[in-house]
């Protein structure tokens, strides 16, 4: 990893919209950015580069990034395996929080010093300065913990939408999920609890699973099982006073997905949003015909491209308010930008299980 100073053509990357406009004297500071020229292993293709200043047009806002997380989907974009990817060369990152540094002459409602997040999120948050149209930016309360402001969309909003969009749940109802220790999983437990919805949680068998159980219980989980604890004839006999769930979430696949299906009640729905085991989902014919199960999928990026940008911000404000009240918490590690490579290694799983890595600029 090295810092290189780039010639003007890089401005194309930093600011792809080069439509001819009235010349403006206002420019951004140079930006230090995590850039990849080609798809491949993130630790090989990502380079920290300095990008030259770019013009700030009348409707533009220049934001100094404060923090941005490394999400699995960021890694998949760099690897080239994500279905929607920015054109190359690209700056990494998709969400984050920043402070308004300077604004174009036509910008309304934002002033230098304001905290903003790109909403819906957009590519290129792994850099020190970003210039984008004012419509991109959503002002948030500065009392929000920085790491939550940086990471509020990709995982917590996924959890919120999945809880709202598939089954009409009422207080006292239950949901079931695997991969419960994931950030989305932890958010689901807490967002369900806020609505009086109970959660049944499935986690992997591994060293430390007792500790993981305890953490989930502390977040508000009603029940937590390791997969091996569910090797029983009828998993529903374990439900005790928790009702059969009408909605389940799968981010693992394989046996862990089958366990979610087993818990679901007649007519229930399982929503898949990840495949951590890299194994497919296998379902019996009778689950569809006689148990009337529905299997669906959820992809936040698609959801946000569907006319939901405004609704999205209302939900983000709700999630941020929960974060400020500590009703929504999850483990993160703030890492200085100059330690990006080490944060990336942790995010890539090279050092075992680690908290969510959030770069602090």
Q: Minimum Å distance from CB 295 to a second copy?
A: 4
Q: Which is nearer to a second copy, 10 or 249 (CB)?
A: 249
d(CA 166, CA 337): 39
Query: CA-CA distance, 347 to 83, in Å (whole number)?
Result: 20
In angstroms, the CA 51 to CA 172 distance is 53
> CA nearest 253: which of 275, 231, 237, 268?
275
324 interacts with a second copy by CB under 8 A: no
Task: Give me the helices (H) in 106-182, please.
Answer: 146-151, 158-165
Task: Give the residue, chosen from 11, 110, 281, 309, that forms a contact with a second copy under the rule CB under 8 A.
Answer: 281
Say how far apart CA 318 and CA 324 lie, in whole Å: 10
Residue 118: which of 145, 97, 104, 102 has the closest Cα? 97
- Angle (CA) 327 332 337, round 5°: 135
The CB-of-67 to a second copy minimum distance in angstroms stands at 27
Q: Does the bond joining 120 to the residue before it have cis omega, within 30 degrees of 0? A: yes
**CA-based torsion, 300, 301, 305, 309: positive or negative:** positive
274 binds a second copy (CB under 8 A): yes
Among the listed ranges 196-204, 220-228, 294-302, 336-344, the one in contact with a second copy (CB under 8 A) is 294-302
- Residue closer to a second copy, measured from CB, 24 or 284: 284
Q: Give the interface segment with a second copy, choosing from 101-109, 110-118, 215-223, 274-282 (CB under 8 A).
A: 274-282
- Which positions are catalytic? 82
Cis bond upstream, residue 63 (ω within 30): no
Spatial separation of the C-alpha atoms in residues 337 and 150, rounded to whole Å: 14
Cβ proximity to a second copy: between 98 and 121 the closer is 121
Q: How far is the CB of 276 from a second copy (least distance, A)?
A: 9
Q: How far apart are CA 229 and CA 241, in angstroms?
A: 18
**Cα gap 323→151, rounded to integer Å:** 11
Is 296 an interacting residue with respect to a second copy (CB under 8 A)?
Answer: yes
- Cα(149)–Cα(284) distance, integer angstroms: 42
Shorter beta-carbon distance to a second copy: residue 98 or 120: 120
> Token digits for 225?
């099982």
User: In this chain, which of 37, 38, 164, 292 binds a second copy, going by CB under 8 A?
Assistant: 292
Selected binder of a second copy within 43, 299, 318, 342 (CB under 8 A): 299
Q: Which of 282, 326, 338, 353 binds a second copy (CB under 8 A)?
A: 282
The nearest distance, CB 304 to a second copy, in angstroms, is 14
CB 343 within 8 A of CB 67: no
- 302 lies in the site for a second copy, by CB under 8 A: yes
Residue 217 or 295: the one with the smaller Cβ distance to a second copy is 295
User: Containing H/E element for 5?
Assistant: strand 4-5
Residue among 168, 289, 310, 314 that touches a second copy (CB under 8 A)? 289
52 to 91, contacts with a second copy by CB under 8 A? 83
Q: Please state the closest distance from residue 292 (CB atom) to a second copy, in A.
A: 6
| Count of residues touching a second copy (by CB under 8 A) | 28
Which of residues 155, 178, 287, 357 is near a second copy by CB under 8 A?
A: 287
**Binds a second copy by CB under 8 A, chosen from 127, 144, 186, 272:** 272
Among 10, 115, 273, 361, binds a second copy (CB under 8 A): 273
Phi and psi torsions of 240, nearest 5°: 50, -125
**Binding to a second copy by residue 309, rule CB under 8 A?**
no
Q: Which of 10, 298, 337, 361 binds a second copy (CB under 8 A)?
A: 298
Q: Which residues bind a second copy (CB under 8 A)?
A: 83, 253, 271-275, 280-299, 302
């Amino acid at each position: 990893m090295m810092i290189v100073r780039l010639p003007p053509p890089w401005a194309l990357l930093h600011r792809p919209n080069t439509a001819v406009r009235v010349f403006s004297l206002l420019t951004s500071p140079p930006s230090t950015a995590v850039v990849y020229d080609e798809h491949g292993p993130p630790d090989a293709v990502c380079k920290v580069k300095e990008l030259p200043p770019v013009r700030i047009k009348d409707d533009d806002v220049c934001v100094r990034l404060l923090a941005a997380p490394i999400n699995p989907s960021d890694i998949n974009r760099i690897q080239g395996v994500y279905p929607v990817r920015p054109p190359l060369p690209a700056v990494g990152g998709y969400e984050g929080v920043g402070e308004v540094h300077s604004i174009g002459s036509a910008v309304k409602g934002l002033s230098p010093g304001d905290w903003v997040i790109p909403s819906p999120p957009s590519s290129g948050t792994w850099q020190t300065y970003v210039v984008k149209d004012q419509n991109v930016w959503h002002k948030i309360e500065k009392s929000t913990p920085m790491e939550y402001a940086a990471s509020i969309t990709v995982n917590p909003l996924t959890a919120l939408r999945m809880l709202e969009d598939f089954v009409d749940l009422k207080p006292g109802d239950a949901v079931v999920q695997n991969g419960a220790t994931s950030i989305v999983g932890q958010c689901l437990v807490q967002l369900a609890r806020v609505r009086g919805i109970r959660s049944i949680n499935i986690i992997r068998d591994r060293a430390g699973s007792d500790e993981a159980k305890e953490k989930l219980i502390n977040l508000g989980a009603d029940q937590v099982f390791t997969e091996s604890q569910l090797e029983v004839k009828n998993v529903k006999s374990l439900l005790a006073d928790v009702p059969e769930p009408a909605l389940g979430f799968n981010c693992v696949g394989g046996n862990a997905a089958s366990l979610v299906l087993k818990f679901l009640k007649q007519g229930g729905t399982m929503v898949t949003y990840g495949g951590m085991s890299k194994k497919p989902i296998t379902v019996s014919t009778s689950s569809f015909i006689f148990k009337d199960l529905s299997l669906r999928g959820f992809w936040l990026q698609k959801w946000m491209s569907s006319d939901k940008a405004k609704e999205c911000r209302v939900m983000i404000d709700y999630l941020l308010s929960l974060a400020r009240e500590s009703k929504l918490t999850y483990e993160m590690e703030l890492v200085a930008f100059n330690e990006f490579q080490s944060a990336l290694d942790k995010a890539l799983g090279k050092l075992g299980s680690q908290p969510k890595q959030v770069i602090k600029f």
